[in-house]
Structure 1
Amino acid sequence: MFYLLLILLGLISLKDLEVNLLPDMEFPRLTVITNFQNAAPEEVENLITKPLTEAVGTVKGIEKISSESMEGVSFVTLQFGWGNKIDYSAMEVREKIDLIRGILPEDAGKPIVTKFDPSQSAIQEIVFFPVDKSRSHELRGFIKREIKSYLDRVDGVALAQISGGFKKEILIEVDPSSMYAHQISIKDIQGAVESSNINYPAGHIEEGSKDVLIRTMGEYRDFREIEKTNVSKNDKNIPIRLGSIAQIHEGYKERKGLARYNGEECVTVSIYKESGKNTVTVSESVRSELERLKEQYKNVIKADIVYEESRFVKQSIDNITGELISGGLLAFLSLIFILRNMESPLILLTVLPISVITTFLLMYLKDLTLNVMTLGGLSLGIGMLFDSGNVVLAAIERHVRNGLSVKEASLTGANEVAGSITSAVLTTVIIFLPIVFLKGIIGVVFGEMALTITFSLLVSLAVSLTLIPMLSALRGNKVWSRKFDQWSFFKKVATWENEIDVRFVKGLTNWLGKPKRFFTGIAICFVVVLILISYVDKEFIPKVDTGEFKIEILNVKGSSLSSTSELVEELETKLLKEKEVKHVISNIGYDEEQILSRSGGEVGTHQAQIRVVLSTERSEKTKDFIHRFREKIQHARTIGIHFYPEEDMLSKILSPDSKAVTLEIEGNDLATLAFIGENVRNEISKIQGITDSKSSLESENREFQVRFDEDKMSVYGLSHQYLAGILKTALKGTVATRLRINDEEFDVRLRYRQSDRKYKEDISRIIIRTPSGDAVFLDQAAEIREGKGYASILRIGQSRVNRITANVENVKQSAVISEVEEYIERLKLPVGYKIHFGGEKENIDSSMRELLFAFVLAVVLIYMLLAGQFESLLIPLIMLCTIPLILIGIIPALLITGNSFNISSFTGIILLVGIVVDNAALFYEYVEILEHDQVSLKEAIIGSGQIVLRPIIMNNGTTLLGLLPVALELGEGTEFQSPMAVTVISGLAASVVLSLFLIPIAFYYILKWQRTRRKTI
């Protein structure tokens, strides 16, 4: 009944477990975003970025500060250590910023501190198209009025954000010549419009027994009323109406970007979920509501969901769940094959559901979620769940065959192996203990997997020592016959088993007499494997073929949005002709309203990005399609086209700087950094396999620089800030006020006419109103020159950085990294400049240090446990010395399957340590038991080998078959665990040889030497 209660509580807990793609984790990263409109990158760097960096640099816990200064905006990124209380850090950062707020420019925006949280990114992307293409300008407004409110009201939706399309606004386009004639400045017009469009309370009066409110009603009710606004008076004191010096009309905001889906322009709605809500449930609710809206407005709009995070969540979890079930089934079938009866495997099968379902209860109590890591942990440990039961059942069956009653055999067998299997489970638990306590990304990501495996193994241990003996005893005193032995197939299996047993005893006896040959053979294999290690690729995390890739397009600097759009359209046409292509989503230019979209790369109407989604039925891998398509468009008329395979979500989170090669050149002078960077980029591009190399200072922006004459400005009484504000309003435009019509608000933008802001000469003729009331032209107080400036300036700490990035294609990444390292060692840099790796190599080095620490700590803890158990310092040392030899199986397997050394495969090696030690400990236990029965050492060694032969084959077989579906990557979401599964399977194969031959031979000669030494003493 106790286990039935656990199953009931586990099923209830499973219902309440939150389903996510990844474990809940607090990312230790803050970004400070500061707007400084119309400022060049160097001004942003000097006036905003540097003061902010210096101010927040003393915040406790910061590991790295980096920044990016772009036109009109500053990004300062603070990287803290994992496990840092990021909310407290954010408060401290805000306090530091408040202390220096007074020294920042007055017209700079307030610095915004944001947390990096991928779980709060959009869970769905919906694209909308008009049915009537002639009304495409009205699409955004329609979605805002009729669609957005319904999507916002869906349970669990925090925000439905619109982007793309045309944003309606009211334009006031002034005539400079009329302004000059009336001695009016654009600032005068702005002030008049702002002060006119207002309703204001004026108090109240008592009318009889009632109070009556009084309000002034000045708000514009229609854009035509703006024409009547008084902006000044002429010399005859006659009011000058705004309509006489400006054109006022409805229009659309000047666009800096647009989006297309399969070649058709669209409006995008991004869905963000509320914190803590189930991604799958929210997505299904949004999809249902969207279908209703599509039907309701089928004559107006068309819509399609082009991205849905829940699809990846459901598919990944469904695939891993399927592999968990299929792995358990394969393990069960292997037991039938080995035991050749149905009763024993069915008894062992009870371990599986009880362990898994009770694990759900423990996960709920520990506040874990169902995700690819926790379910991946269960699928990896599925075969291991049978291990303890295998040993217990084998001991019981052996005692039954030796003449004990089933009840006595159940009690004796369980007691006999209780110590060894408890030690074995604790060994595996100890293996994962260091991972749980690691502070870095490894501990955060693999911690939940380690806990899940630990929970399931501890439950399986309890079941094996209590429920399995009880169920075995319930079978009564009937003979434990192998009922399937009568079948011809199982007769052959029995023959094979006897043959294996005979050959094993013969082989072990033979090698006990020829230890030098055996150890020489093992040593040769190990040396060969050490040589082969250099041929195994090394990367941070396994590369996953998502079936998607991005194309980054750079047009000529200064190109218009329409010019870049034409180039993108040519590529879209070529892509859509490819039968492997399913969807093409293009983003040309950038969205001014979404400030975060401007960080991390070159921004402007000359750049674009295309995301290509390939068909699931494609005949070639994504990297092969990229290579073929790159050759097809190599003569495209653009400055640069760069291809980037789209990463899975886990990779984006664990390795955001995911370029295969990232070099960071530090120094102070931008021109020198650009020169060095260009040389480095050219040289590494010659290395075979390097593609898509880029420099962050690759090109400069053409710009007009307005240099103010301090003497003339003093004469006129003008300031830099005042002149900069007039320039911005005249050229880009300023939202002077907002017009409210039928519950909708529209920006009222004030600027010069298009014809008066096209050329350099037009800038010179911008009208300035001096404090004395005179109107002068800008060139009377400033000089306008043509110059160049960089699009963005990167810094790490207090040093400027030129970041060189590149991809690797069709060759091993580690080989390319080695060649780049050799080049860097030969590179001579000027004094004050240095170059180092960043990005993925930095992640690999950091993570491998963490995993190596976990590995060493796990080995030390296991040694301490075994030393205490066996009351010996030497015996555990022999067991642990065999651990490196599992590489004999692992390295060839990684090479054959094309897998790499990464955090997943290295975790598999750590897991193997426990399995190898468990087998050795079980063997030594039986050696001690047989020696206690007064048999010779050699007989004890051979007898123990015979006893553990079947448990080891059963344990390793169930674990291997349980992992097989994961290793074969039979579905999406399993690629991350696949290298771990391949490592464990190949290591298990090697451990069979180690456990059945190397360990017995080593123990035989060490124990023989010990006994001889004792007799001598």
Structure 2
Amino acid sequence: MKLPEFSVRRKVTASMIAMILVVIGLIAFSRLGLDFFPDLEYPTVSVITTYRGASSEDIEKTITEPLEQVVSSVSGVKKVTSQSSEGVSVLMVEFEWGTNLDFAAQDIRDQIGLYRNFLPTNASNPLVVKFNLSQFPVVFYGITADSGYSTYDLKKMMEDEVKPRLERLDGVASAAVFSTDEREIRVEVDKNALISYNLSLDRVLMALAAENVNAPAGDVVERHEDLIVRTLGEFRSVEDVRNVVVGLSQRGEPIYVRDIAEVKDTFKETRNVARVQEQKGVYLVVNKRSGANTALVGNAVKKEISKIQASLPGNVKFHMAMDQAEMINMVASRTSNNAVVGAFLAIGLIFLFLRNWRPTMIIAIAIPLSVITTFVALYAAGYTLNLMTLGGLALGVGMLVDNAIVVIENTFRHIEEGKHVEEAAVVGASEVGMAITASTLTTIIVFLPVVFAGGITGKLTQPLALTIVFSLVSSLFVALTLVPLFSSLLFKARAKKSSADEECVVKEPHFAAARAFYRKLLAAALRKRKIVLAVTAALFVISLVTVAFLGTEFMPQSDRNFLMVRIKLPVGTSLDETNRILGQVERIFSQQPEVTLVSAQAGSRAEEDPADMASGMGITGTHEGLLMVRLVDRSERKYSDMEILERVRKMLPQLENFKFEQINMEAAMMGGASAPVEIKLFGKDLEKLREIGDTIVKRISDVEGLRDLTHSLAQGKPEYQFSLDRERAARLGLAVAQVSSTIQTATQGTVVSRYRDGSDEVNIRVILAKQYRDTLEEIRKTPLMSAAGKMIFLEQIADWKRGEGPIQITRENQMRKISITANIAGRDLGTVMRDIRSRLGDFEKQLPPGYFLEYGGAYEQMIDAFKVLAAALALAVLLVYMVMASQFENFLHPFVIMFTIPLAIIGVIFGLLISGKPVSLPALIGVIILAGIAVNNGIVMIDYINQLIRRGLDKREAIIRGAVTRLRPVLLTALTTILGMLPMAVAGGSGAEFRSPMAVAVVGGLTATTLLTLFIIPIVYSIFNRVSFKEYVPQSEELPCK
């Protein structure tokens, strides 16, 4: 018993199956997560090591280079890139896709563990972190309070009252509080006192480290009791620190810390500042656990914050700087709305064509049933509802009705012939069962290459592809089971018409005129086949020529409600000056009507949060500032985020060497470059790299559309360099490490121990008093103690000079490089890169030996993605042909149908041109989808023509009658798909940038292939079957009912 017959004969059973699917589908839907992107695990591991006070070159030599060699030996490593900045080394180890990152990260830890003793003593233990989208904040708050509360008080309040409650919430991995004020016990040493007591900084460090100890001292058995002995030496108050003995005077009297230093319970000397709405504040960053529902976590955090806020003192205000949950809900809502509107448009069109509410009602029931069944498959596959899967559902809505329409139209036709309703429902579905199965398979099969595609392209498109596959399989099941069931229940029988040759005239006054008009046009086209084919070929050639005017890009730029901007001043600019300029830019943003919140940071946070540098969005020094700007929703503003940014650019202060850069947070989240344009220059010598980089910047600076053009070695940081007289130092028993450690303690201090104050642990830092470290002359007079106990000064063993060092050294696969980067405004990426490459073509050939260029950034990702998708498209076309050949048991007929694909390309190109969209990853995915859809109309048409020929009808008449008979289902399936996707094609707002090019490609391509298929397929079929229409006189215009 076939499925249609089972459904009609066993109505109660079929109805219960439908109800089971609905119940299970709704349960699955309630458990599906909601995210912005699929839960991707990028094959990247970061290795972060801090070494406070070390220059970029020192970091490179002592940490980065050795670690690069170590991690490169790990199995499966594809590429190693690194950044050596002041005080921090960051390695990004990229593996092949599919690598188990847990094992890979452990292998890296094991290898580094073997080498740890060879790293500098004062360097931190390397931190190995897997890259994951969950490490980007779910919510990001800027927090302010009344003026009576310092940022330290505010931070303490957040850590005591807010952080524990948020971390208890389901799905929350961590809630971190960041502040510029960090409490510390600072021992400010008086250099003159050191000299007078004949002491060194090393002696102070050793004394404080040795005294602040609680240690076990064994055990004692006394009167049958076994007692533990402990030495209690930890500091219990700041006074204990002051009373530590650091030495003895010549008279044998103790010298206390208070005699040679001022001990302060204060805050760490800040190297960064933070503001929220032009007020000092702190930041609260909440991250979710991997796999947790982003929207639910974000909503739960906001709900908990609203409860906590009322109980906090000091008029504490939580300013939402970024909210992923809000963006996700917005995207989900808009995508759902597009799908619903598309479904209603498709249903309305069906009613217009059929002029009967019964088949329209069946379609209206079939769509939600197919969608609900898809939810079951998505849940079973472990997917979430995200930009990709929601896009797949929205795209699928237009295609969901195709199978049901073909079944209903055929059933409707059999009823009009006079068959009984139940018989018509069974026969109508069974008759087209193989055809719609084949057409569904041709649509599904095109996604097979995409599902198995590699790299980021494959990982992004797999959820979308499989969602469409799930929805199409669901629609096929519904069309062959529930549609016949509903047809048998809702349709009414008509009187059977008689005909001597078992044919009849179907009376369709509302569609007869269209069929008659099409019949005349088709007959004329078949008589003028060469002209029609020539015009079509000309259109195809024109469309290919037009591609050059479309432009190309990797991923469309999203118009989001959040901007991240970095400002750069000359390297070495003080924190105060950077903060002053940052304040000016901050005020400019605050004055824009679309801006609701501005938070600002200046200075590096690498010490407090080394992972900040690994994100690619951190600040490298006191010369940089970062602005996070929140905008009103796109529906509430007239201008896009990029237009607002361009407006702000024109209002910026005109300063020499002032840089203003937009950070593409979305690209960073996707594991890409923070700027779309990146030219990588490789070489050995930093000065030579800087010189060549400057030349490249000058050569391409006039390329239209470039913004924020710079290179990573644009400026060096001013520094004092000392050269040790090794011979003299050796005579005095001093090593370079000891001298370097003394300089570090003198200038920026050394954390020697920690002081426990209740639940707080506070660093104890030893440093020279400020007046003794403000100038080079004072630093040179810092005392050291020789091995013989004789006091000497730095100036006696070292030469000092002022120099310049790189602010950041980047490397790739153990070779130095600099990156020339830029953003783009007003032009597409492909066109801009073409102009850049034309300017650098001859220059690249003139580079010195050992120096060469590579093109990276979004351009590299775009080229890789286009190669992957081009191969996927070629394979998809081949697979479609194979499926059709299997269906027809013929090699020729599928070849005829394949002509619909180039016809679709005409529509794709002109669709993108009219809509102003460049060729991009989403648009190419749309082309692949088209490869499966475009052939469906041809399958239905050729299949019916073959049926008529088998019945004995003349081939010429069979071609015309077959095409005309299938006009209504061809138009219905095509137009419902087009209307179903039309809302998505014209949609705006967050998330639409990805979906819209896909929909435009499908709508444009399907429009063209439908119109042209009605003529080209019969023409090509007639040519391959050697059927001539030169002297053909059409028979009756009556249409066969069978």
TM-score bin (small chain): over 0.9
Distance 1:199 1:643, change over 3 A: closer
Q: Answer yes or no: is the 8 Å Cα contact 1:602–1:791 preserved in 2.
A: no
2:987 is aligned with 1:969: yes
**Paired residue for 2:689, among 665, 673, 689?**
673
C-alpha deviation, 1:602, in angstroms = 6.0
C-alpha deviation, 1:595, in angstroms = 0.8
Residue matched to 1:535: 549
Partners of 2:748 and 2:297 lie apart in 1 by 40
Distance 1:541 1:281, change over 3 A: same
Residue matched to 1:27: 42
Give secondary structure in 1 for the equivalent of 2:994: coil
AA aligned opposite 1:425: T
Q: Answer yes or no: is the 8 Å Cα contact 1:590–1:598 preserved in 2.
A: no
Give secondary structure in 1 for the equivalent of 2:350: helix
2:119 is aligned with 1:104: yes
**Which range is displaced more, 88-97 or 889-898?**
88-97
C-alpha deviation, 1:229, in angstroms = 1.0
C-alpha deviation, 1:979, in angstroms = 0.5
Q: How does 1:699-718 map to 2 (within 5 A)?
A: 699-718=715-734
Partners of 2:658 and 2:290 lie apart in 1 by 40
Give secondary structure in 1 for the equivalent of 2:1026: helix
2:966 is aligned with 1:932: no
Residue matched to 1:486: none
What are the Cα deviations for residues 779-804 of structure 1, in whole angstroms up to 9, with x where unaligned?
A: 22211111111111111113211110
Residue matched to 2:608: 593
2:276 is aligned with 1:268: no
AA aligned opposite 2:610: I
2:572 is aligned with 1:555: no
AA aligned opposite 1:378: L
**Which range is displaced more, 265-274 or 747-756?**
265-274
**Paired residue for 2:514, among 500, 503, 510?**
500
What are the Cα deviations for residues 16-65 of structure 1, in whole angstroms up to 9, with x where unaligned?
A: 22222222222111112222332222222222222222222233322222
C-alpha deviation, 1:183, in angstroms = 1.4
Partners of 1:322 and 1:602 lie apart in 2 by 40
Partners of 1:349 and 1:1001 lie apart in 2 by 36
Distance 1:806 1:509, change over 3 A: same
C-alpha deviation, 1:97, in angstroms = 2.7
Partners of 1:369 and 1:664 lie apart in 2 by 37
Q: Answer yes or no: is the 8 Å Cα contact 1:547–1:621 preserved in 2.
A: no
Q: Answer yes or no: is the 8 Å Cα contact 2:321–2:629 preserved in 1.
A: no
Partners of 1:547 and 1:622 lie apart in 2 by 7
C-alpha deviation, 1:188, in angstroms = 0.9
AA aligned opposite 2:246: V
Q: Answer yes or no: is the 8 Å Cα contact 1:256–1:589 preserved in 2.
A: yes
Residue matched to 2:102: 87
Partners of 2:975 and 2:593 lie apart in 1 by 43
What are the Cα deviations for residues 768-787 of structure 1, in whole angstroms up to 9, with x where unaligned?
A: 11222222111222111111
C-alpha deviation, 1:386, in angstroms = 0.7
TM-score by length of 2: 0.93
Residue matched to 2:5: none
Q: Answer yes or no: is the 8 Å Cα contact 2:50–2:87 preserved in 1.
A: yes
What are the Cα deviations for residues 212-251 of structure 1, in whole angstroms up to 9, with x where unaligned?
A: 5443332222212211111000111111111011011111
Distance 1:604 1:195, change over 3 A: same
Distance 1:961 1:88, change over 3 A: same
C-alpha deviation, 1:408, in angstroms = 2.1
**Identity among equivalent pairs (%):** 33
**Paired residue for 2:157, among 133, 136, 142?**
142
C-alpha deviation, 1:292, in angstroms = 2.4
C-alpha deviation, 1:10, in angstroms = 1.4
Partners of 1:358 and 1:737 lie apart in 2 by 62
TM-score by length of 1: 0.95
**Paired residue for 1:478, among 493, 499, 507?**
493
Residue matched to 2:854: 836
**Paired residue for 2:643, among 614, 620, 624?**
624
Q: How does 1:968-1007 map to 2 (within 5 A)?
A: 968-1007=986-1025
Residue matched to 1:785: 801
Residue matched to 1:683: 699
Q: Answer yes or no: is the 8 Å Cα contact 2:143–2:276 preserved in 1.
A: no
Give secondary structure in 1 for the equivalent of 2:755: strand
What are the Cα deviations for residues 113-133 of structure 1, in whole angstroms up to 9, with x where unaligned?
A: 211112232211122212134
Q: How does 1:520-531 map to 2 (within 5 A)?
A: 520-531=534-545
C-alpha deviation, 1:852, in angstroms = 0.9
C-alpha deviation, 1:85, in angstroms = 1.8
Partners of 2:898 and 2:157 lie apart in 1 by 70
C-alpha deviation, 1:631, in angstroms = 1.8
What are the Cα deviations for residues 719-778 of structure 1, in whole angstroms up to 9, with x where unaligned?
A: 111111111111111112222223222211110001100111122111111222222111
C-alpha deviation, 1:641, in angstroms = 2.5
Q: Answer yes or no: is the 8 Å Cα contact 2:588–2:648 preserved in 1.
A: no
AA aligned opposite 2:647: R
C-alpha deviation, 1:260, in angstroms = 1.2
C-alpha deviation, 1:669, in angstroms = 0.9
Distance 1:135 1:9, change over 3 A: closer
AA aligned opposite 1:605: T
Partners of 2:148 and 2:338 lie apart in 1 by 48
Residue matched to 1:698: 714
Residue matched to 2:867: 849
Residue matched to 1:322: 337
Residue matched to 2:168: 153
Q: Answer yes or no: is the 8 Å Cα contact 2:420–2:493 preserved in 1.
A: no
Partners of 1:496 and 1:833 lie apart in 2 by 73
Unaligned runs of 5+ in 2: 1-15, 497-506, 1031-1042
Residue matched to 1:310: 325
- How many residues align? The count is 998
Residue matched to 1:614: 631
Residue matched to 1:490: none
AA aligned opposite 1:944: G
C-alpha deviation, 1:295, in angstroms = 0.8
Distance 1:972 1:725, change over 3 A: same
Partners of 2:557 and 2:955 lie apart in 1 by 51
2:809 is aligned with 1:755: no
**Which range is displaced more, 355-364 or 275-284?**
275-284
AA aligned opposite 1:333: G
What are the Cα deviations for residues 263-286 of structure 1, in whole angstroms up to 9, with x where unaligned?
A: 112111111223333222322232
**Which range is displaced more, 385-394 or 164-173?**
164-173
What are the Cα deviations for residues 569-610 of structure 1, in whole angstroms up to 9, with x where unaligned?
A: 112222222223222121111212011223447611111011
What are the Cα deviations for residues 548-586 of structure 1, in whole angstroms up to 9, with x where unaligned?
A: 333322223222212111111112222222223222121
C-alpha deviation, 1:14, in angstroms = 1.6
AA aligned opposite 2:704: Q
C-alpha deviation, 1:101, in angstroms = 3.5
C-alpha deviation, 1:134, in angstroms = 6.1
**Paired residue for 1:603, among 614, 620, 625?**
620
Give secondary structure in 2 for the equivalent of 1:542: coil
Residue matched to 1:949: 967
Residue matched to 2:403: 388
Partners of 1:823 and 1:786 lie apart in 2 by 38
**Paired residue for 2:876, among 851, 855, 858?**
858
Q: How does 1:736-885 map to 2 (within 5 A)?
A: 736-827=752-843, 828-885=846-903
Residue matched to 2:529: 515
Unaligned runs of 5+ in 1: 482-492, 1013-1017
Partners of 2:429 and 2:812 lie apart in 1 by 61
2:255 is aligned with 1:240: yes
Q: Answer yes or no: is the 8 Å Cα contact 1:690–1:807 preserved in 2.
A: yes
What are the Cα deviations for residues 605-660 of structure 1, in whole angstroms up to 9, with x where unaligned?
A: 11101122233322222222222222222x4335223232655x4x4433621523
Partners of 1:321 and 1:134 lie apart in 2 by 46
**Which range is displaced more, 132-141 or 319-328?**
132-141
Partners of 1:176 and 1:937 lie apart in 2 by 108
Residue matched to 2:264: 249
**Which range is displaced more, 811-820 or 520-529?**
811-820
2:692 is aligned with 1:643: no
Q: How does 1:292-311 map to 2 (within 5 A)?
A: 292-311=307-326
Partners of 1:933 and 1:122 lie apart in 2 by 67
Residue matched to 2:394: 379
C-alpha deviation, 1:466, in angstroms = 1.9
Distance 1:152 1:309, change over 3 A: same
Q: Answer yes or no: is the 8 Å Cα contact 1:171–1:250 preserved in 2.
A: yes
Partners of 1:622 and 1:785 lie apart in 2 by 47
Distance 1:435 1:615, change over 3 A: same
